[in-house]
Amino acid sequence: MTPRNLSIMAVVTAITVILAAAALFSQGDIVTANRSMERAFPDLVSRANEVAEISVTDSDGTATIRRDGESWGLIERGGYPVATERVRRVVLSLTEARLVEPKTSQEDRYPRLEVEDPESEGARSRQLTLKDAEGETIVATILGKRNPRLFGPGRSGVYLRRQGEIQAWLSDGDLELSSDVWDWLERVILNVSQRDIAEIVINRYGKEAVRISRETEGSDEFTMANVPEGEKADPDALSRLAGTLSFVSVDDIKPASEIEFPERPSIATFTTFDGLQVKVTYAIVKAQTWGFFEAAVIEQTSTDDDGSEQTATEKAAEINGRAEGWAFRLAVNQSQRLFTRAKDLLAKEGDGTS
């Protein structure tokens, strides 16, 4: 082997060693978990079906999820429904969580693991409590810092300190919980695709009505009613308006009775080719746009029904199931479109619209 080849081999060997060391140190936080270890919450195993309330308190507030019959609701939002599957995953994660190794029992070191008293100044910990229907505590623990890759890819770990104990523990399991309402609720409440829209009518008190429509399902071309002589509608503006109900995202939810609407609110009606009609009643209340959603089924105009998608009746039932009795604070993009004026849909001079 020539000196040149020896030099090349030495460089390759050095690089290999460096890369191996880097890989080793990059996995320094990975812990091997033994699934035979003690359960973090042994009482929960036999009492999981008794859980009737889950509360999470942190520096931002409290989220309380309470069972009512077969359903669950978020108390801080008037009992708005929480998906049962979401609750089931939380209880299951707690049931399966196991203690990996003891950590500190010294109070001054709690903040490093974020297992300090949640009510202390600057606390980053979370108080998690599960109760039964009689209000008896089943689980009470302080959840601390979380590491999503502690046990390798896809396997999380979290530090915790059980109620009444000074010992902090490292536990396995995915226990990412907070008081944020969107940690429990679906922000997107409905989705009506732009391609399904046949007609939109917007009526605002004291304003010219807005109406756009298209005759043929699958066509990209919308027409606007009552276009002033010498003016033309802007196709892009019409298309944007038709997408108003695509993935409707809300910023807050309250019982409808808690929102005082004006006597003459604005109303926008969206009709699809398969006969679904969604009515949005909305207004600016205390500088925020709030709205109610109501769905119904009218005469179907679509001829494409192969049974592969939801029917209009099923869609209406789903929307009403989520929206009936509730008011929603609309995200900015949706509220801006709902306040579209007729003149906003006209082509601007020199924009190239033909």
- Taking the domains of the chain in order of start, what are their residue ranges? 42-183, 188-302+309-345
Render 3-18 in DSSP notation, one character per residue.
HHHHHHHHHHHHHHHH
Task: Give the model's pLDDT for residue 154.
Answer: 61
3-state secondary structure of 280: strand
Identity of the amino acid at 101: E
Going by their DSSP bridges, the two strands 326-330 and 248-255 should be labelled as antiparallel
- With beta carbons less than 8 A apart as the criterion, state whether 122 and 142 touch: no
Q: Outline where the chain has alpha helix (H).
A: 3-26, 42-47, 84-96, 110-113, 235-242, 312-323, 332-338
The whole-angstrom distance between residue 238's C-alpha and the CA centroid of its chain comes to: 29
Please, what are the averages of pLDDT over each run of 10 residues along the chain (354 residues)?
Answer: 43 41 38 65 96 96 96 96 94 94 96 95 96 97 84 77 95 86 92 96 94 91 94 95 95 96 96 97 96 91 59 95 96 93 88 56
Q: Which residue has the tokens 């066509």?
A: 219
pTM of the predicted protein model: 0.80
What distance in Å separates the CA atoms of residue 174 and residue 300, rounded to the nearest whole number? 46
Task: Give the model's pLDDT for residue 333.
Answer: 87
What distance in Å separates the CA atoms of residue 99 and residue 157, rounded to the nearest whole number? 10
Q: Which helix (H) or strand (E) holds 252?
A: strand 248-255
300-301-305-310 Cα dihedral, nearest 10 degrees: -50
Count H helices, E strands: the chain? 7, 18
- Residue 14, phi then psi, degrees to nearest 5: -60, -45
- How many other β-carbons are positioned within 10 Å of the β-carbon of residue 326? 22
The residue length of the chain stands at 354
Write the DSSP symbol of residue 305.
-
Region of 186 (left: φ > 0; alpha: ψ -120 to 50; beta: rest) is: beta
Task: Give the model's pLDDT for residue 2.
Answer: 47
Task: Give the model's pLDDT for residue 220.
Answer: 85
Task: Give the model's pLDDT for residue 147.
Answer: 77
